[in-house]
Structure 1
């Protein structure tokens, strides 16, 4: 055994001398693991920024005019036929449809929200020119705030069953189901609820739903939201959403992907709403109507009194090509339990339903659209709160408000630890 060791040792000596020579001549270049790591992160950062720049090129269309909003937003006036909707492979080459027949029973007084300033960007009275639509410009910072670049502008994948608050989503809603629905209408009280951290949000909206609560879920959604991650501030903003596969690969907020076709030059989806309600003082609400065009089958959105914003083409959907099977109204928040306790993100006004008008947030004049394109009052409204000690809801009906409910709450409190 000793003889074998003596035979191998000269070879080992040569190897050792060779390695010593190599490390002496180029000690830094040979073992600079930190440099390699930095190069890796540099390449990764470069790919990230390239992805963001490419995405911004797709989202932000050429504009013929830009309006500066008091909240810092830039509103681009984009030619109607160049809007993001027509990037969709099923919509390429199309032009916006003509306005449909409005539901029977809808108030058609001469006053119109088109003559009112309900968003910050238009407080000066300046609007986009005829033949264009206003689109809130998406910025590099919007992408950098996102928890996922690939899913920027989309909701996380989640079930929306109202008997569960899984995935941190909690609700206080009124809903109807069991019939065929062709639209929904509500006046929604607007507040500016406090959102506890960057990755939570507070939404008040209506949902038009079809399909099961599996992967084939179809929804159309509209309302107002406070989302620091999406917008970088705490303003309540008018928003829309759609999906045809339960939030997996289709749909998005506002105009951040192709799909929704806008026709209005005075309303900017994603822009801040003004004015807003104040506790025990002035109250402000927005009226929203979603309904299915009886002739072409598209789902139209009206904001205010007679002001058409645009439509979701029926070809985007599967089940909603026919009709909805459920309509919901109410509030939703995200609770990510960042401090191992319930979030203090507020819903609605941040006050419980029991406080009533001027203090609690409300939905009023709730209606659905029937098979014959008629607006109908609700006969079987049910209300549900996932965690009533955190956010609750109380429904009612009277001659002035029709079907209504108060809802909301502060989140974390002595009964909601």
Structure 2
């Protein structure tokens, strides 16, 4: 019986890949009207370039004048006073820069160098990209039936349920549910892995900030549908009401950094069991003065851009929910992909995917420890989470280990 089920599963996967191949590869036959619509979309996304540059991974970017970037096509951003030297007002302590501009450039770009000041790097989008991205799934839609309280031994109340729709699977830790929470941001350091995905599957680690239907995310993901390859890449995502968008594929995120692209590939990836673990720090902070939301990178809080306050409703003020951890997706009928290190966590940092140094900002912008959290795993047979709010003495020693093989071991 088990062998029979395995053969059926493999046959369904092969059939799915054959059916979806053209769409994923960008070879779907288009009607004349669809083709014209894509051409118009390309004109909106691919703005005139001052310079064209190439990353070390072969990605080609246009250096677009700051004031002509696609985000200013947003109807709420037509009349703005933004400029390329914008910096957020934060309460975070200033850090001495250990990562110079030169080192960022040498890690990301080929001999062409980065974009000139006053411009921003935006990846050139092709018609094939747009066709492939039509297969992007809708955003997560989750229902929390019962609050699950984290305990020291990492057990959870089996009566609570965290239901993911649209074929998403999560292994996360989140702040305790309280509508009166007022968070001005959050942060983490996350280990970098490259779980194997195929077709329209994707696997990611993210920091997620939310209030109501407004959502902000920053993290890494492996996503052939979004990126046309299977590299581990940086991503940002926002949802404002019914509208959602990755990176700068639609108006909403204002780029200010002329050097670091928001979809860059990470050049160092962790290998399970190796002594050295590669990680990256990520934050999302609310500007204390104007309420804009800034994703920040690395120890020095490198600024790549911001989501303007005016595009949000619920997140025009503070967030009330923060999440850290992994998410995996596969279309219905397709086996779930691996997450994190592709193995169940065992609470060892050189074997597990992790998020560590978890922190949140209060409504005054002060950084505080995250002491009380809740575990959510909607399919513990595929993925698991281990949560240690005080893994070591001192402040900001909150570690979360997550991951799992998904259904890849059954293929």
Classify the TM-score, shorter chain: 0.7 to 0.9
1:252 aligned onto 2:214: no
Is this contact kept in 2: 1:262–1:310, CA < 8 A? yes
What does 1:16-415 align with in structure 2 at a 5 Å threshold? 45-96=31-82, 98-104=86-92, 106=93, 108-112=95-99, 114-117=101-104, 121-122=108-109, 124=111, 126-148=113-135, 155-161=137-143, 163-177=162-176, 178=178, 179-195=181-197, 197-211=198-212, 217-245=213-241, 248=242, 250-281=243-274, 282-304=276-298, 305-339=300-334, 342-343=335-336, 345-354=337-346, 356-396=348-388, 397=390, 398-399=392-393, 402-412=397-407
- Structure 1 residue matching 2:310: 3-state secondary structure: helix
Is this contact kept in 1: 2:193–2:269, CA < 8 A? yes
Output the CA distance in 2 between the equivalents of 1:307 and 1:60: 25
Structure 1 residue 155, shift from structure 2 partner: 4.8
Q: TM-score, normalised by structure 2?
A: 0.81
- Structure 2 residue matching 1:394: 3-state secondary structure: strand
Question: Aligned-pair RMSD on alpha carbons?
Answer: 2.3
The structure with more radius of gyration:
1
User: Greater shift after overlay, 229-238 or 116-125?
Assistant: 116-125
Q: TM-score, normalised by structure 1?
A: 0.80
Q: 1:110 to 1:157 in 2, by over 3 A?
A: closer
Output the CA distance in 1 between the equivalents of 2:29 and 2:167: 35
Structure 1 residue 144, shift from structure 2 partner: 2.4
Structure 1 residue 402, shift from structure 2 partner: 1.0
Is this contact kept in 2: 1:205–1:329, CA < 8 A? yes
Structure 1 residue 285, shift from structure 2 partner: 1.2
Structure 1 residue 306, shift from structure 2 partner: 2.5
**Long gaps (5+) in structure 1:** 1-41, 149-153, 212-216
Is this contact kept in 2: 1:117–1:123, CA < 8 A? no
Output the CA distance in 2 between the equivalents of 1:168 and 1:389: 15
Deviations 1:318-375 (A, max 9, x none): 1111110100111101133535xx42x1111111111622221010111001111111
Output the CA distance in 2 between the equivalents of 1:279 and 1:365: 20
Poorly superposed stretches of 4+, deviation over 6 Å = none
Q: 1:389 to 1:123 in 2, by over 3 A?
A: farther
Is this contact kept in 1: 2:54–2:112, CA < 8 A? no
Partner of 1:20: none
The number of aligned residues is 357
